Amino acid sequence: MSTLGRIAARLLACAATSGALFAGGVAYAQTASEPESGDASVPFALPKSGPFTPADINIDNDKAIADWFRSSHANAASEAFSHWDDDGEIRAACATCHSGEGFRDFHGLDGTPAGVVDGPINTGGVVDCGTCHNAGLSEITEITMPSGVVHPVTGVEASCLTCHQGRTAGTTVEAAIAGLPADEPNPELRFINPHYATAAATWLGGYGAAGYHYEGQDYSGRFFHARPVASCNSCHEPHTLEVEFEPCLTCHLADSPDDIRIARQSYDGSGNTSVGIKSDIDANADRLLAMIRAYTDDVVGSPVIYDGTRYPYFFADANGDGAIDMADGRPVAYVAWTPRSLRTAFNWKLVTADPGNFAHNPHYALELLYDSIEDLSDPLGVDIEALDLLR
């Protein structure tokens, strides 16, 4: 279906919920019997006679629909919703979060068994109104995270936490590398991707156990922030998804969320506390990626290149010329992972997959980055103390 077709289909769906038909830019009411005397229920939103131009008709939720329509949740042309167009249907493993139809199927809101996508799920779907406003959400009381942690939810929290938890966790990595020598490449290992937009995973922190947790280390739990900030909708306008910054100014003096600093010490070794905590997280993330590359070069002897625009993101550079190796016109995936490089790359990807990590749980992000940097410092001969980082 073309982008224009998807837009038309969604407009018709909205019209159907209002009981309206559109023709030539003029709105007509569907035929319906007159309500009984004293019956306040009306089965359609438009007046009972017409024609009327759409601009003359008041629809109570028109602003919410317009806000949603310009959000990324409604962008049917984006890769998140069009990736499967050539396949003719969305794969069951992906459909839960990449289609409202798949979400309702997974949670049994369409009458099918919960916990599995029965499919097939049609292409062209988006995160539609029924994803977050389905009455059945009130029956969902818990969400299971990739780590196995079962987290209680209420109402629309089920939607947010289902689709922003990632698809793997540190426990996935731990199982893959169990019993293997830390610095020995293993051709059976493959990059384990935490997936994208992992805000819920970051928010729940060590309690949700999304990251690879190093033995003997403690990790900050769910980030409660200030008392009024209790859910995703506390900060995000639910339809546009935009961050409502004004409430932040109650406690923070800053020009933007990026400029907010939650600590009086420097975590990245720069000593600069005049910038937002985002700067520290970004600096340590950059340092970690550089160390991962140095480790694959100097310790493993098999260089790696990261390309965030294509899966599986990490590719081979056997001759060390700085260009991704190609075979049959396709990039060659990196297959010289060691347990050490795999777990540090997983933590790096988890932190950077959430662009709002500095607001969702900065403590947890910094802890994962520090521990991964420390993990690589020994085989690289780096003095972790000299970096002047803080955990």
Residue 281 structure tokens: 């997280």
Residue with tokens 């995936």, as numbered in its chain: 333
Q: Are 334 and 314 in contact (CB under 8 A)?
A: yes
Question: Within 10 A of 390 (CB to CB), how many other CB atoms are there?
Answer: 14
CA–CA separation, 74 vs 86, rounded Å? 20
- Per cent of the chain over pLDDT 70 is 87
Q: Are 312 and 190 in contact (CB under 8 A)?
A: yes
Q: Is 387 helix (H, G, I), strand (E, B) or coil?
A: helix
CA–CA separation, 297 vs 303, rounded Å? 5
Phi/psi of residue 110, nearest 5 degrees: -105, 10
Q: Is 388 helix (H, G, I), strand (E, B) or coil?
A: coil
pLDDT digits (tens, 9 = 90+) for 99-158: 999 999 999 999 999 999 987 999 999 999 999 999 999 999 999 999 999 999 999 999
DSSP state of 31: P
pLDDT digits (tens, 9 = 90+) for 217-275: 999 999 988 777 888 988 999 999 999 898 888 889 899 999 999 899 999 999 999 99
CA–CA separation, 88 vs 86, rounded Å? 6
Q: Is 235 helix (H, G, I), strand (E, B) or coil?
A: coil
**Residue from 291, 299, 143 nearest 210 by CA:** 143
Question: Within 10 A of 63 (CB to CB), how many other CB atoms are there?
Answer: 10
Spatial neighbors of 213 by CB under 8 A, at least 6 apart, are 170, 206, 219
Q: Within its chain, how far is the Cα of 134 from the centroid? A: 21
Q: Is 308 helix (H, G, I), strand (E, B) or coil?
A: coil
Cα dihedral 124/129/133/134 (nearest 10): -40
Helices (H), 27-169: 62-69, 79-82, 92-98, 100-106, 129-133, 157-163
CA–CA separation, 251 vs 270, rounded Å? 25
Tell me what pLDDT residue 31 has. Answer: 38
For the chain, how long is the longest CA-to-CA vector? 85
pLDDT digits (tens, 9 = 90+) for 353-389: 999 999 999 999 999 999 999 999 999 999 999 999 9
Tell me what pLDDT residue 1 has. Answer: 52
- Does residue 20 have a pLDDT over 90? no
| Confidence (pTM) | 0.85
pLDDT digits (tens, 9 = 90+) for 169-199: 999 999 999 999 999 999 999 999 999 999 9
Q: Are 99 and 126 in contact (CB under 8 A)?
A: yes
